[in-house]
Amino acid sequence: MTTDATSSEKRAAVEGREGESALDLSEKGRNRSGETVRSDRRLYMQLLAFGACRDSAPLVASLKRSGLPAVLYEDVNDPAGIALLLFSERPDFFLESARPFLRSAPFARLAPKAEYTMLGRTYAMGWESDLEETLITRPRRRVCDPKLPWAVWYPLRRAGSFEELSEEEQRSVLGEHGGVGQSFGKAGVAHDIRLACHGLTRDDNDFVIGLLGADLHPLSAVVQRMRKTRQTSRYLARLGPFFVGRVAWQASA
């Protein structure tokens, strides 16, 4: 992580022609002194859903042996359905480690459900003081928390009209929406994972959201409450499909 006073080697490496400003792709926050802090780290998460699973026990045993950073869910809406959440800071992980694993037994015998495939990356909003906690530690800790076994995962895409709003109007819309999630989080009944997925999904979504909790009802209630916000009612073009499941196995955080 760096501050404005110290330049990042990665940012220097993407400078354009002489006289042009650097292309800064880092995640940004602010420390307690008000200085901008940056990080080039982020966590990628991918959800893959499958059917034709008669017994999840062999999958759990295989995951334990593999050592992969993952969470296995049993699908509450499909008695033969499961989903695997994988996460890593390295995009290559999904091809070099996860792909060979999934092409071998017992996962190779399952029927993929491509409509539930979700891939996204953690991101900062610009005000966070601890970027490592925001981008890496907290999302990994939440998905691996045995006290949060229930999960609802879904993608969404904002309507183009949202981008036409002024920055002040956008902040107001997002603040209203975010306030709902914060109230559930402060109550300890629903915690979220926010992932950006621009250009990473088949259906051209903008974000992937994970809602995690000890019980299912608050996760449904937070979605219900958010229906009334301006972001959902006016500025979303698409929402879902929703995967709803309970943890069958979790890697340690």
Which domains are assigned to the chain? Answer: 146-245 (3.30.70.1030)
- Residue 113 or 164, more confident: 113
d(CA 43, CA 56): 27
Mean pLDDT (the chain, rounded): 91
For the CA atoms of the chain, what is the radius of gyration? Answer: 19
The pLDDT of residue 163 is above 90: no
In angstroms, how far is CA 221 from the centroid of its own chain? 20
- Residue 148 or 236, more confident: 148
Contact by Cβ (8 Å): 15, 24: no
Q: What pLDDT shows up at residue 1?
A: 52
Write the pLDDT tens digit of every residue in 222-251.
999 999 988 888 888 999 999 999 999 999
Write the pLDDT tens digit of every residue in 165-188.
898 888 888 888 888 889 999 999
Write the pLDDT tens digit of every residue in 58-78.
999 999 999 999 999 999 999
d(CA 189, CA 219): 8
Lookup: tokens for 231: 């972001």
Q: What pLDDT shows up at residue 232?
A: 84
Q: How confident is the model at residue 14 (pLDDT cuts 50, 70, 90)?
A: very low
Write the pLDDT tens digit of every residue in 90-146.
999 999 999 999 999 999 999 999 999 999 999 998 889 999 999 999 999 999 999
Q: What's the rounded mean pLDDT across residues 192-218?
A: 96
Q: How confident is the model at residue 253 (pLDDT cuts 50, 70, 90)?
A: confident
Q: What pLDDT shows up at residue 36?
A: 94
Contacts 24+ apart (CB under 8 A), 181-185: 181/222, 181/226, 184/218, 184/221, 184/222, 184/225
Q: What pLDDT shows up at residue 13?
A: 47
DSSP string for residues in 163-230: HTS-HHHHHHHHHHHHHHHHHHHHTTS-EEEEEE-TTTSTT--SEEEEEEESSSHHHHHHHHHHTTSH
pTM above 0.75, yes or no: yes
